[in-house]
Structure 1
Amino acid sequence: MSRRNNELNGRELDTVSRSVSKQVTSFDEAFKAFLKDAERRGLREFTLIFYRKELNSFRRYLEMRDHSLLIHDITRKDIDTFVVDMQADNRKTTTINSRLRAVRAFFNWLVDNKYLADGEIAKISLLKDRKNNIETFTVKQLHALLNATDKRTFTGQRDYTFLLLLLETGIRLNEATGILVEDVKLSEGLIFIRNTKNHYHRYVPIQAKMKEQIRRYLRLRGTAETDALFVTLDGTAMTRSTLQKIVGKYGNLADIKGVRCSPHTLRHTFAKMSVMNGAGIFELQKILGHSTMEMVKTYVNLFSTEVHDKHREFSPLNNL
């Protein structure tokens, strides 16, 4: 009998490092504990849905390959193969990175909570993605979109208010879904945004046209069973998925082509028009609720006319 190696391998290190209370070994048990802890930490329901969706996708992948569903049998190579197979299926880089973020968060949590000893598996890098041109609506398309609403109906006035609000403030869909009537401060020209991505509440400003439309909508809305700003004909809160379809609905009615009709396109359009009208990066970051300057700088680089205007002054061809 050959002498065994004195150095413990990864699985053996896991065995000695885990406490008795942390003997969770199956993917499903670990996943359940991960979600329970995420709920305890107060993560948004939208984030929990994201983790469930993307990690279940990874689990199905392991099952299809007849791979063991014990977390200690999952290696970095399995994750790399997961990426290669998604690329072979022509998945978008954004889709692949979305799943990798969920897998990375899961395995980081397993390492941090002593379910796994080897932290190398959690060191997952996202794929580099070339920045695509950011889609925005033209002024003509915006007019067509807004005019497609039937303002003689309650739902038309509600949807018109929703579209205007996204364009006026650049808030995210999830943020708009979470607005309550009490969050609208018309006298101050502000709306309180509570359902934020980074858990930092903020106020966004609104101007005269937006305030007047919200006043009109609130009179039509009246009292309802819910405190949510946007309600159905039955007086119940509009869901995120229902609000998400509004831009696409009126985009189809307006026959808008060549641009994705979505709430996020209105957010990009707000950013573009704000930059072109001279908004500063700090004001833009605060209104949009970005935790870093990266995306704001992207907007400025794409849409600022300052370089173009200055080029008129220093163009070498001026003196030829």
Structure 2
Amino acid sequence: MKWQPAIKDYQLYLKIERGLSKNTIDSYTRDLEKLTHFLGKNDIVLSPIIIDKNTIQQFIYEIAKQVNPRSQARIISGLRSFFDYLVFEDYRKTNPTDLLEAPKIGRKLPDTLSEDEIDALIKAIDLSHPQGERNRTIIETMYSCGLRVSELITLKVSDLFFDEGFVKVTGKGNKERFVPIHYNAQKYITIYIDEIRSHIKIKKGFEDTLFLNRRGKGLTRQMIFTILKDLAIKVNLNKKISPHTLRHSFATHLLKNGADLRAIQQMLGHESITTTEVYVHLDRTYLHKVVEKFHPRRTN
């Protein structure tokens, strides 16, 4: 088995069997391409079936000179997944990455915005043109529902269940969940649909896509990044922000205001509660409040 056919088969497995997004698959593929480039550069002729731990360890030593520990750990994780696939398909008996140690990295706390900073971003939007009304609705929706950028740009008109107060969101691995949506966001979406979207000549295939560009097609991830970046510059916000910053802010503000961690987990679409627990570390007073409220020795 050669590397390129093995990688293509692996990509199909990730897409069809595991239902991963194109971005995730591309990330795994880049890690494997780094390995094959290393093998070619050093004239190492080993197929995916016979490559051993020592060779992969040499690659990790080399890559460690170029990337930070977090990226190094991600690459090891990506390689481990690939070789797990080969073992699963009976191409190999063992995974050569099983005994590799990933570098120890601390959990990076996500950047967040205050409620005032989010309000400032929204107020800075120029509502004198149609894209302004759309952009305000986009930010209100992301912040109201804690959406990933991929979830926002794939949101459909048919996913809106305003009578019930929910939107249907398609998350990682095509897993669907229903997320409550604040009445303010509902109001802006309704205005956008009735007054802006209804006047756009929609291209075939995008009839049900909620947020559209001027040409009647769906928005790209990069367009959402650009919208936020431009607004941050406009209000002199000295923070590096992205669409994910709004998602982190949504979760953090809910937690600070007393929301249950399990409820936040469901709204964010996290498979594991440990992923959601990172928000506890942003506000240590939360832990103190939990003890005060629920501990049997609490003071009355």
TM-score, length of structure 2 as denominator length: 0.86
Partner of 1:239: 220
Partner of 1:180: 156
Superposed, which structure 2 residues align to 1:32-51 within 5 Å?
Answer: 32-41=8-17, 42-51=19-28
* Contact preservation (8 Å) 2:280, 2:286: no
Which amino acid is the alignment partner of residue 157 of structure 1? E
Compute the RMSD of aligned alpha carbons. 2.4
What is the distance in 2 between the residues matched to 1:29 and 1:112? 17
What is the distance in 2 between the residues matched to 1:307 and 1:167? 24
* Contact preservation (8 Å) 1:108, 1:122: no
Which amino acid is the alignment partner of residue 276 of structure 1? K
Q: CA deviation at 1:84?
A: 2.5
Partner of 2:245: 265
| 1:159 corresponds to which of 135, 149, 152 | 135
Q: Deviations over 1:76-106 (max 9, x none)?
A: 12322333223322x2233222222221111
TM-score, length of structure 1 as denominator length: 0.81
Q: Deviations over 1:186-215 (max 9, x none)?
A: 222111002x11443101111111111111
Q: CA deviation at 1:28?
A: 1.4
| 1:203 corresponds to which of 153, 178, 187 | 178
Identity %: 25
Partner of 2:274: 294
For residue 88 of structure 1, give the secondary structure of its aligned residue in structure 2.
coil
Gaps of 5+ in 2: 294-300
Q: CA deviation at 1:254?
A: 2.1
In structure 2, relative to structure 1, the CA distance for the partners of 1:123 and 1:179 (3 Å cut) is farther
Partner of 1:229: 210
Q: Which portions of structure 1, spanning 4 or more consecutive aligned residues, are displaced by more than 6 angstroms? A: 310-313
* Contact preservation (8 Å) 1:275, 1:304: no
Gaps of 5+ in 1: 1-23, 314-320
Partner of 1:18: none
| 1:86 corresponds to which of 53, 57, 63 | 63
Q: CA deviation at 1:113?
A: 1.0
Partner of 2:258: 278
* Contact preservation (8 Å) 1:27, 1:69: no
In structure 2, relative to structure 1, the CA distance for the partners of 1:289 and 1:163 (3 Å cut) is same
Q: CA deviation at 1:73?
A: 4.4
The answer as to 2:44 corresponding to 1:67 is: yes
